[in-house]
């Protein structure tokens, strides 16, 4: 079950994304059908997993069937090299497993991605990483200018002023951390989060 406060986290995050999108202007090229960021796996919290499962349960029977088919296909392709427990879907945290994950399934298509439209079938229930990818996110504060993580298709040849102007201001990390504690510790990936659901 998702904690009640997750709705607030989603509202704050989505509002921040809308604001960053408006400030980014033409530099932010994200649009429906652009799905480069939907290839390759990433770690997500069990809170993200709960949100996805809820979205799947709310989907129409036909959509559920299509997603479950893609999830089963994805798991069959990923299970052998999965650096975690394929039964629970929880990723291991030891140093070797962390290194293995860096090279794991970097080309795999997200099973929630509709291959015909290039759009997310569980968009309103997507993980936080998906909600915040695209606009500049400051990832290091060491220098006066900072270092930003940005989708490689966005802000191409943009001046630093434009990057700063489009920065996504995320909610305080404590808010998400508190909610994650209520769900449980560990990380997984989308395919395994939806395994058996």
- Residue-wise pLDDT for 83-107, tens only, equals 999 999 999 999 999 999 999 999 9
Residue 110 has pLDDT above 60, yes or no: yes
Over residues 167-175, mean pLDDT: 93
Average pLDDT score, the chain: 94
- Region of 19 (left: φ > 0; alpha: ψ -120 to 50; beta: rest) is alpha
Closest Cα to residue 132, out of 13, 4, 7?
A: 13
* pLDDT score at 169: 94
**Which residues, other chains included, contact 108 with Cβ-Cβ below 8 Å and sequence gap of 6+?**
39, 40, 41, 74, 77, 78, 191
In a domain, 150, yes or no: yes
Torsion of CA 20, 23, 25, 29, to 10 degrees: -10
Residue 1 belongs to some domain of the structure: no
Q: What is the pLDDT of residues 51-63, one digit of tens each?
A: 999 999 999 999 9
| Beta carbons of 90 and 186 less than 8 angstroms apart | yes
Cβ contact 3:179 at 8 Å: yes
Closest C-alpha to 117, from 191, 16, 35, 17: 35
Per-residue pLDDT at 194:
97
Task: Tokens 């429906």: give the residue.
Answer: 32
Model confidence at 138, in pLDDT bands (50, 70, 90)? Answer: confident
Q: Would you say residue 143 has pLDDT above 60?
A: no
Report if residue 189 sits inside a domain: yes
Residue 145 has pLDDT above 80, yes or no: no
How many structural domains does the chain have?
1
Buried b (16+ CB within 10 A) or exposed e, 95-122: eeeeebbeebbeebbbbbbbeeeeebbb
The β-bridge partners of 140 are 147
Per cent of the chain over pLDDT 70 is 96
Q: Residue 141 sits in which domain range? A: 6-193
Phi then psi for residue 140, to 5 deg, are -140, 140
Place 14 in a pLDDT band, splitting at 50, 70 and 90.
very high
């Amino acid at each position: 079950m998702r904690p009640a406060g997750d709705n607030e986290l989603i509202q704050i995050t989505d509002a921040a994304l809308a604001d960053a999108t408006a400030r980014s202007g033409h530099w932010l090229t994200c649009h429906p059908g652009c799905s480069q960021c939907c290839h390759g796996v990433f770690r997500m919290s069990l809170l993200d997993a709960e949100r996805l499962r809820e979205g799947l349960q709310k989907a129409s029977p036909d959509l559920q069937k299509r997603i479950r088919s893609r999830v089963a296909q994805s798991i069959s392709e990923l299970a052998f090299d999965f650096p975690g427990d394929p039964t629970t879907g929880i990723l291991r945290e030891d140093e070797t497993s962390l290194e293995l994950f860096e090279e794991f399934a970097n080309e795999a298509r997200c099973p929630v991605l509709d291959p015909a439209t290039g759009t997310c079938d569980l968009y309103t229930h997507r993980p936080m990483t998906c909600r915040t990818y695209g606009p500049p996110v400051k990832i290091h504060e060491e220098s006066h200018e900072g270092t930003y993580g940005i989708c490689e298709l966005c802000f191409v040849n943009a001046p630093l002023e434009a990057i700063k102007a489009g920065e996504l201001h995320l909610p305080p990390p404590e808010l998400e951390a508190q909610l994650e504690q209520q769900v449980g510790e560990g990380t997984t990936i989308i395919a395994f989060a939806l395994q058996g659901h």
